[in-house]
Structure 1
Amino acid sequence: MSEDKTLTKIPHFDGHYDHWSELMENLLRDKGLWSLVEEGVTEPAAGVELTTVQKKSLDDLKTKDHQVKHYLFQAIDRVVFEQILDRKTSKIIWESLKKKFGGNERVKRSLLQTLRRDFEVLVMKNEETIDDYFKRMMIVSNKMRSNGEEMSDSKIVEKILRTLTE
């Protein structure tokens, strides 16, 4: 487990929750902090007296939770940050991101329908190079594949050949 914080590259959340969450989970597991996202930090009930050891343990957990929150806040932009209403613990933040961006099956089907349409209407622009067109085609087809679409390479090649400009 690396303690050098200067070398930690925090994955930026770009709207693709599944990919980002796996990268972020790996980072937090590497840092030994993933349990805070899974289990969270539980405050003792009101009126419960803690021993010195319990207080120290709770303070350590809170410090680590702040570290996880720091990583999460570094990964998201201001717009996403403002959509998270409750930012008390890293577990609450993670669950909020998961609920908002993880998407259920209906959302994924809707996204896939949009991507299918994008794929079908894709044509090479007159001023576009073949490389640029190929890149655009691969971006759409890879998004389709990552959302569960069976997309053969031959289908992509046929589409490219069919839609090239003179």
Structure 2
Amino acid sequence: MTESSPTLIVLRRPETLLSDADTRLSHGGILTTPSGLLTILVLEHPGPPPPDGDTPPWTVYLARPGHRHATLALPDSFSVAGSGVQFTVFNFGPVPDPGDLWMVIHHPQLPHSVSLGLGSAPAQSATTRWLAEPDVLASPGSQPAQVWHTGLLRIGDLLFTHLEASADDPGLVPAFIDVMIP
């Protein structure tokens, strides 16, 4: 576990989880953030991406072996027409002790389900890497907000990052923006 700041911790660097003739699945790092455990999944597939506004059929959850309950994350996806690459952000919320959890990933374009033990030894990715490490940015003005990003992720010719601003005031809702540069 590598610590980037007191509120942004890198649990795993980008890794390739599945690679076969037609499909590659990678994650763009697994982070503990001010808004909870977060990862970006990158699906490379020759088929067309889902139409804009459609929720892709992802099922991604965290579970402990031997327990019947799981923590489900809802997707927020972005793709570039004609590229066959889809970036999907998953936020699981606060997760105590993620080291003994497994992340399970289902998607109809994958040849089979994929699982990753968050406490297992990480493997490097030859295709997905950070150009800039995840970091907390300077607070804008005198506002009590914390602004952070998930790293500048490169896959092929595409760049992607997730920026988020959160405040200590429980009445304020975190704001986020996902940026993809073709």
TM-score for both structures, normalised by structure 1: 0.20
Bigger proportion of residues as strand = 2
Higher relative contact order (CA 8 A, sep 6+): 1
Bigger proportion of residues as helix = 1
TM-score for both structures, normalised by structure 2: 0.19
Structure index of larger Rg = 1
